[in-house]
Amino acid sequence: MTHKQESDWLRDARRIVVKVGSSLVTNEGRGLDEAAIGQWCRQLALLVHGDGSGDGAAASGGSGGREVLMVSSGAIAEGIKRLGWTKRPGLLNELQAAAAVGQMGLAQMYESKLREHGLRSAQVLLTHADLSNRERYLNARSTLLTLLRHGVVPVINENDTVVNEEIKFGDNDTLGALVANLVEADLLVILTDQQGLYDSDPRHNPQARFVHEARALDPQLEKMAGGAGSSVGKGGMLTKILAARRAAGSGACTVIACGREPDALLRLLTRGERIGTLLTAPHTRNQARKQWMADHLQLLGALSVDDGAAAKLRGEGKSLLPIGMTAVRGAFARGDVVAICDAAGREIARGLANYSSAEARLLCRKPSSQIAALLGYTAELEMVHRDNLVLMQ
């Protein structure tokens, strides 16, 4: 990868996903902060217009203009305020009701503030099901790219009205990374109430050093990240590190920065100031289909493999043959995405299964030459073909 200055990574980014945390847009959970959202929208407009005029020029056509997508939290906090509740409810149906009410306010706020600066907006609500199904994934991608092409700023949130805990993205850091992968963004900007990443928790270690730049795939980053830092949002620094790693799969760099800094977006992206932590991505990108597989958050099953099969997958880029499988977990159909785990239970790869879970159990430890005798037919000689397999970092 060619070495670039930090300012170059930021200034060269043309398609940018901006994720704003709950504490930044809701006055620490007290409902939407109109002034703060107004400032984000003003900065977005200057980035999109390119020339900074804010005069309503075509968003995607101005000289030097960027394509920007906003991933914003805040719907549940706003719904709680509008419903007059004094605390966050514990029941799922009440949280979903709060989200339904709050989404109205969130969309209205972004629409009015962006319109003040000559920009159109669109509300896009996503669930994991939208991104785990290949057809819906492609539809979501097509919609977002069409909006960008027409100069519209998508404002994206998880559809909390219909999801339950089993199918949630988990936090909007993860959603931001998935959106970055979905549209093949150059940069993911995660704005939070923290300055960025330290090599240890500065609340407990006064000698903690700030990390200005690192590689997104560096395994040491997870050790540096502490627990949740805010009582409002669900994600702590660890979720942001994991989001950066996920975004890196499609070649997107990530910046984790404090959103309370004045003009944080403009200083980062137009002036190249060293605000926050830059996590750079490898130059190579996963192919679109492999990135889709890597982005699955919930898998229907897993295949355990022996050391020999694991070595061939990792080192030689081979397909997974039935003879290398030692166990099958879960219930999945042909064509589903499954995890592939080594003898220690670590996920080393995932891919599209050529046989169902019931068939796979019959094939464990058997040579491919026996597939027809065991199943009555042969679909493929491999359980997972290397063309439909992606190694996990």
Of 9-18, 55-64, 74-83, 106-115, the poorest mean pLDDT is in 55-64
Distance CA 335, CA 342 (A): 21
Distance CA 180, CA 188 (A): 6
Pairing of β 389-391 and β 301-305: unpaired
Largest CA distance in the chain: 71
Q: What is the pLDDT of residue 230?
A: 41
- Taking all residues of the chain, what is their mean pLDDT, rounded to a whole number? 86
Q: What is the pLDDT of residue 199?
A: 86
Instruction: Give me the mean pLDDT over the 168-187 stretch.
Output: 88
Q: What is the pLDDT of residue 29?
A: 65
Q: Would the pLDDT of 257 be above 60?
A: yes
What's the pLDDT tens digit per position in 68-89?
A: 999 998 888 889 989 999 888 8
Place of tokens 């960008």: 148
Q: What's the distance, CA 21 to chain centroid?
A: 14
Of 44-48, 114-118, 163-167, 215-219, the poorest mean pLDDT is in 163-167
CA dihedral 243, 245, 250, 251 (to 10 degrees): 120
What's the pLDDT tens digit per position in 373-386?
A: 999 999 899 999 99
Q: Kindly indicate the confidence band of residue 369, based on its pLDDT and cuts at 50, 70 and 90.
A: very high
Q: Kindly indicate the confidence band of residue 146, based on its pLDDT and cuts at 50, 70 and 90.
A: very high
What's the pLDDT tens digit per position in 200-218?
A: 877 788 888 999 999 998 8
Structural domains in the chain plus CATH codes: 6-290 (3.40.1160.10), 299-391 (2.30.130.10)
What's the pLDDT tens digit per position in 92-121?
A: 889 889 989 999 999 999 999 999 999 999
Higher pLDDT, 246 or 282: 246
pLDDT over 90, % of the chain? 55
Distance CA 248, CA 304 (A): 27
Q: Kindly indicate the confidence band of residue 59, based on its pLDDT and cuts at 50, 70 and 90.
A: very low
Burial of 155 (0-12, 13-18, 19+ CB in 10 A): buried
Q: Kindly indicate the confidence band of residue 164, based on its pLDDT and cuts at 50, 70 and 90.
A: low
Backbone angles phi, psi at 216, to 5 degrees: -60, -30
In order of 137, 146, 160, the CA distances from 183 in angstroms are 11, 11, 22
Residue 35 near residue 19, CB atoms below 8 Å: no
Instruction: Give me the mean pLDDT over the 303-326 stretch.
Output: 94
In the chain, alpha helices (H): 6-12, 22-25, 34-49, 75-83, 92-115, 128-132, 134-149, 172-182, 220-224, 237-248, 264-269, 288-294, 307-316, 357-363, 371-375
pLDDT over 70, % of the chain? 89
Q: Which residues pair with 69 in a beta bridge?
A: 17
Q: What is the pLDDT of residue 252?
A: 93
